[in-house]
A and B are shown apart, each in its own frame.
Chain A
Amino acid sequence: MKRTPRNTSPPNWILNFFRWFCHPGYVEDIEGDLLERFGTRSQNGKAAGILLVIDVLKLLRPGIIKPFEGTQKLNNYGMFKNYFKTSFRNLKKSPLFSAINIIGLGISMSLGLLMIVFLSEIYSFDDFHVQKDKIYRVNTKYSFGEGSQEENLHATSSIYIGNQIKEQIPGVENLLILRQDMIADLSIDDNAIAITGFYASNTFFDVFDFKLIKGNPKTALSEPNGIVLTESTAKKLFGDMDPIGKTVTVDRNENFQTGTIRGVIEDPPIKSHLQFETLVSLKTLDKLAKGNEVNFRNDPSDCWFNHVYLVLSESAQKDQVSSMLENTNLVPPWGGKITHFLQPLDEIVTSKDWYYGLSGPTFLPNKIHTMIGLTFIVLLSACFNYTNLSLARALRRSKEVAIRKITGATRIQVFYQFIVESVLMSMIALVIGIVLFFIVRPEFLSLPNPTYRGYEMFLLEINYFQLGYFLLFAIGVGCIAGLIPALLLSKIKVGIIHSDAGKLRLFSNIRFRHALVVIQFAMSIGLIMSAVLVHKQYEFATNYDKGFSTQNIVNINMNRNYVDLDVLENEYAKIPEIIGTSRFAYVLGEGWSGHGGVVMTADRRDTIEHINNYIDEKYLDMHGFKVLAGSGFKSSIKKGEKQKNVIVNEEFLKTLNLGSPEEAIGKSVWIKEHGDDNKLIITGVVKNFVNVSLMEAKERPFIFLKYLPGESSYLAVNYGDNDVHTVMEKLEATNNKFDPLHSFDASVYDDGIAKTYEKHMTTYTIISFLAFLAISVSTLGMLGMAVFTIESRMKEISIRKVLGAGVSSLMTLLSHNFLVTVVVAGVIAIPTTLYIVNNKLLNEFKYRADVGLIDIFSGFIIVLLIGILTIGWQIREAALANPSDKLRSE
C-alpha cells in the first residue's frame, strides 16, 4: 500500500464518543479499523469525516457497547447487588431480630401511611377548581366593641362589601354570592323531598368547577326561581326522568312557591369546602328586596348569611383588596365593629381559626400537627429499636466490616452497605404496614372527626401517586433507622480483626443506647397515661351532676317540621309509653352557647350579658331543676304577646346584686327583645346548673323566658322506665305518619350530652391506639435486647451459677438495668405528660376530674408489668438453664 501522509485528520469528538461507549477491550482494535478506513477514504477524495461519523453510529450495537455490569464507571450495580445479597443473608441469619425489627417498623409504618394519605387528602381539598389559586373568600370579623376583647370570625360577609370591592378595585374577574339558609320542600306529582342549599348568583359556574351534568351553566342560575339540583337529590325527586325544565312546587319557603329545574350538578365531592344539596338562583330573592330601602343586597351589616367569593386576576390585587377592606370599618346598629378580610381558597379547610357560618368541613391545623407529632413519636420508637439492636449486635458484624475494609472497601461503601440493609428491612416492613393500614383504615374512618361539623371529610384511599410516597417514606424510615449503626459500624478499624473483639470501642455507645430506651419507655408511659387521663375526664364529663336531670328524656328537633307542632306534640303524647312532653328552644348542656342577650336592672344602671332559653310551663319540673324561690311558669303565651315574667339563676342575682333568691322574687329587670325594651318580673330562681357544657363555667347569668311559638323549637319527651328503643321506634312512626317528608331527628338526652364530648372520646381512641402501638414497639425492642443480653452474657451467668449464685440473685442482676431504665423514663414522662394533658388536651374543660395516684402511675405500672413479663421469662430461662451445658462446649 502506498504511503502518503494524511492531509486530513479525523474529527476528534466522534472518536471520543466512540471511546466512551465502546467496550474497553475492543477500543483500540476497532478504532484502528475506523482510522484505516478513514485514511483510505480521504485519499480517494470521499467525504471521509461524515462517513466516519456514520460508521461510528453504526457501531452502537450490543456486543460493542460497554456492558453495564462489571465495569466501574457506568454505575454501581454490582456493588448494590452485593449489598442486597449480604443484607438478605443477614436478615435470614438472625430471624428473631429481623422479625422484631420488621414487625415493629411495620406496625408504626401503618400509622405513617395513614398519616400520608390523611395529609394528602387534607391538602388536596378544593383542588378540582381550575382557578383555585385566584379564588378568595371574603370573611368577616365581628368585634364586640368597647370594653370587650371578644371577637368572632365568620365565613360569611355582606353582599354590599362584595359589590364595593368589585366596583372599586379593577381586575376583580368575578364575584360570587352564595346566600345560606335555602331550606325548602320540593314536590312534583306525589314525590316530595326536603332540601337545603344556597341561593347562588349566576356567576357560580364561572368561579367554581362543580360539574354541571345537565343544563346550561350560563343560564341555569340567571332566572328567578331557577333550581339546580345535585345528582342524588334529582334522583330522589325524579327517579330516572329528565328533570330539566320541570316545574316543582315549593313549600316551607316564603320566597318562592314554584320553581323550575334548570340544571343537575354532580354531588359536591367530599373534598370540597362547600357542601349543598341544591342551588337556587339569587334573583329568586329579589322580591324580598323590593320595596325595602335597606335590604339584604345593600345592607352592610347583613353579614351573617352570605358567602362572598372573589376571583382576582393577579396576586397584586389581593393586597389592594386587603388594604381597601382594612380601611372599611363598619359599626352595625347594635354596636360593635365589623371588618372584612380575604382568605385564599386553599386555606379555608385548614384554617387555624374557628369560623362561624361555615357550609362545609374544616380541620384545625393544630390537630394536624398533633397527629403528625404523635405519628413521629411512634415511628421514632420503631427506628430506635433497629438502632438499638443493631448497635448491641455490632460485635457480630465487626469482623465482616474489617474484612470488607481489608479487601478495599472505603468507609463510605461500608456505610452504604448498612443503609441498604436497613432500607431493605423497611421495604419489607412497608408490606406489613400496607396490610395493617387496610385493617385499621375502617376503624379510623368510623371515628367521629375531632373537628366534626357533620360532614364526611376523608376517604383514605390509596392511589398510585401515594404508593410513590409510601416508597419514599419507607426509604426515608430505613435511612433514619440505619443512620447511626451505619455511621458507627463503618468506623470500625481493620485492626479489630487481630485484637480481642471485646475491646471494641463501640461499646462506649452504651449510654447512647440507654438514652434511646429511656425515650422509648417514656413515650409509652406518656401515651398510656394520657389515654387514661382523657378517658377519665370523658367519664367525668358525661356523669357530671349537671344540676338537672336528663334521665329518660328524648329531645326531638322540631325545627324542620312543617306540620303544626301542636298536632305532633299531641300525637306524641298519645303514645302510651310517654309520660310527659315539654317544649323548649335550646338543648342545654350540649355545647350550644345559644341565645344570649343583654339585661338591665330596673333603674337601668347595670347591664349584663346572659344566656337564655325559652321553655314551657312543664320544662322545669320534667328536668328536675332545683327551684330556690318562687316557681316555674304557670301559663304559656300566644304569638305576638309580650314576655312578662322571667326565671333566673343564682348567678344572675349575684351579678346584678338583686339579693337573696327570696328577696329577688317580684323585682323587675329590663330586657331588650326584638328591638324593644321589655320589663320583666322575676317569678322564680333556680340553682346554678351546667348550661353550655363542662367547658364553660356554670356561674353564668342565665334566664328562662316563656316558650314562644315560632322560635327554635325542641320537644322533650319523658318515657319513664320504658325501653328506649321501643319508644324511639314509636316516636319515629308517629313522625313518619304525620310528617313523612321530614326525617325524625331526635336523640336520647344522655347520648346528646355524650356527643358533646365526642371529640375527647376520639382523642382518647387515637391516643389509646397510639399507646398500644408504642408499647408494642417498645416491648418488641425490649424483648430483642433481653434475648441479646442474655445470649451474650450466658457464659457469665453460667459461671456465676457454678460459683453458687441463686436464681433470685441472677434475676435481680439481669433485670436491674431494666428497672433503672423504666424508673428514669417514668421520672421524665410523668410530669411532662401531666403538663401536656392539663394544658393541651383537656384545657378546654372548666371542670376537671380529680387525678388520682393510680391515674398518674398507670402508664408507669403498665410498662413495668409488660417489661417484667417480657424480660422475666427470658431471664428465668437463663437462670434455670444448666450451667454445664453452656460451659462444657469450650
Chain B
Amino acid sequence: MKEHLGEFEELILLLIMTLKEEAYGLSIRRTLKDQANRTVTIGAVHGTLNRLENKGFVESNLSDPTELRGGRRKRLFTITTSGKVALQKSKDVKVSLWGQIPDLAINKS
C-alpha cells in the first residue's frame, strides 16, 4: 500500500536513521532541535512516531529499563525497509525536480 510521507514525518525518519540505536522520543526531539532548529512538543514527536509505525515505516522495541528514566523502558525506533524505500522515493522526486531547475534560475533569485 502506498503511503504518503509528510514533511515532518520525513524529517523524523531521517533522524531515526542518523540516531541509529539511540532513536527514541526524547532523543529525536533533542536532535531535531539541535540539527533542524525546530522545537516541537513531546506529544508531536510521539504522535508522528505512532503514525509512522502504523504506516509500517518504522518498528519499535522496548529497551532495558534505565535508572535515569525512573525505571521506565525506552521505545527504540528503527526504520523498516519500506521506510527506507519511502525516503529514497521522496529524495528521488526532489532530486529530479532540482535537476530540472536551471542553475541560472537559482542564481538569479
Contact = CB atoms under 8 A, between A and B. Distances in A.
A29 B68 contact: no
A80 interface: no
B20 interface: no
A127 B56 CA distance: 65
B50 interface: yes
Interface string A3-36: 1000000100000000000000010111111111
Among A10, A29, A34, A39, find the residue whose CB has the most chain B CB atoms closer than 10 A. A29
Contacts of B75: 26, 28-29
Contacts of A491: none
Interface stretch (A59-67, A160-168, A357-365): A59-67
Interface in B18-63: 24-26, 41-44, 46-47, 50-51, 62
Contacts of A1: 68
A55 interface: yes
B84 interface: no
Interface in A29-59: 29-37, 39, 55, 58-59
B25 A33 contact: yes
Nearest to B50: A63
Contacts of B41: 55, 58-59
B69 interface: yes
Contacts of A32: 69-70, 72-74
Contacts of A3: 67-68
Contacts of A36: 26, 68-69
A39 B47 contact: no
A28 B70 CA distance: 10
A804 to B, nearest CB: 70
B70 A30 contact: no
Contacts of B44: 61
Interface in A203-257: none
A33 B26 contact: yes
A33 B41 CA distance: 12
A35 B70 CA distance: 7
Contacts of B42: 30, 33-34, 37, 55, 58-59
Given A55-B42, A58-B41, A59-B41, A30 B25 contact: yes
Contact of A63 (B46, B68, B74): B46
Nearest to A39: B68
B29 to A, nearest CB: 8
A58 B40 CA distance: 10
A889 B75 CA distance: 63
Contacts of A30: 25, 42, 46
What is the interface of chain B mostly: helix, strand, loop, or mixed? helix
B50 A26 contact: yes
A58 B26 CA distance: 14
Given A35-B72, A39-B68, A59-B41, A29 B47 contact: no
B93 to A, nearest CB: 27
Contacts of A37: 26, 42
A64 B26 contact: no
Contacts of B26: 33, 36-37
Contacts of B43: 58-61, 63-64
Contact of B73 (A28, A62, A63): A28
Contacts of B70: 10, 31-32, 35, 39
Contacts of B50: 26, 63-64
Contact of B24 (A31, A33, A58, A61): A33
Contacts of B25: 29-30, 33
A769 to B, nearest CB: 61
Nearest to A34: B42
A29 B76 CA distance: 9
Contacts of B24: 29, 33
A871 B74 CA distance: 73
Interface string A443-485: 0000000000000000000000000000000000000000000
Contacts of B51: 63
Nearest to B51: A63
Contacts of B46: 26, 29-30, 33, 59, 63-64
A1 B27 CA distance: 13
A42 to B, nearest CB: 12
A11 to B, nearest CB: 13
Nearest to A35: B70
A652 B67 CA distance: 115
Given A34-B42, A37-B26, A64-B43, A29 B67 contact: no
Nearest to B73: A28
A59 B68 CA distance: 21
Contacts of B62: 28-29
Nearest to B48: A63
A30 B75 CA distance: 8
A398 B107 CA distance: 81
B98 to A, nearest CB: 33
Contacts of A60: 43
A26 B73 CA distance: 11
B25 to A, nearest CB: 4
A3 B66 CA distance: 11
Nearest to A9: B70
Among A3, A37, A55, A63, find the residue whose CB has the most chain B CB atoms closer than 10 A. A63
Nearest to A61: B43
Contacts of A59: 41-43, 46
A632 to B, nearest CB: 105
B87 to A, nearest CB: 22
Interface string A268-292: 0000000000000000000000000
B28 to A, nearest CB: 10
Nearest to B72: A32
A25 B7 CA distance: 25
A55 to B, nearest CB: 6
Interface string A160-179: 00000000000000000000
A61 B50 CA distance: 13
Given A32-B73, A55-B42, A61-B44, 18 more contacts: A1-B68, A3-B68, A26-B46, A28-B75, A29-B24, A29-B46, A29-B74, A32-B69, A32-B72, A33-B25, A33-B42, A36-B68, A36-B69, A55-B41, A58-B43, A59-B42, A59-B43, A64-B50
21 contacts: A1-B68, A26-B50, A28-B73, A29-B72, A29-B74, A30-B46, A31-B72, A32-B69, A32-B70, A32-B72, A32-B74, A33-B46, A35-B72, A36-B26, A36-B68, A55-B42, A58-B42, A60-B43, A61-B47, A63-B51, A64-B47
- Across the A-B interface, the 10 shortest Cβ-Cβ residue pairs: A32-B72, A63-B47, A29-B75, A32-B69, A59-B43, A35-B70, A58-B41, A33-B26, A33-B25, A61-B43
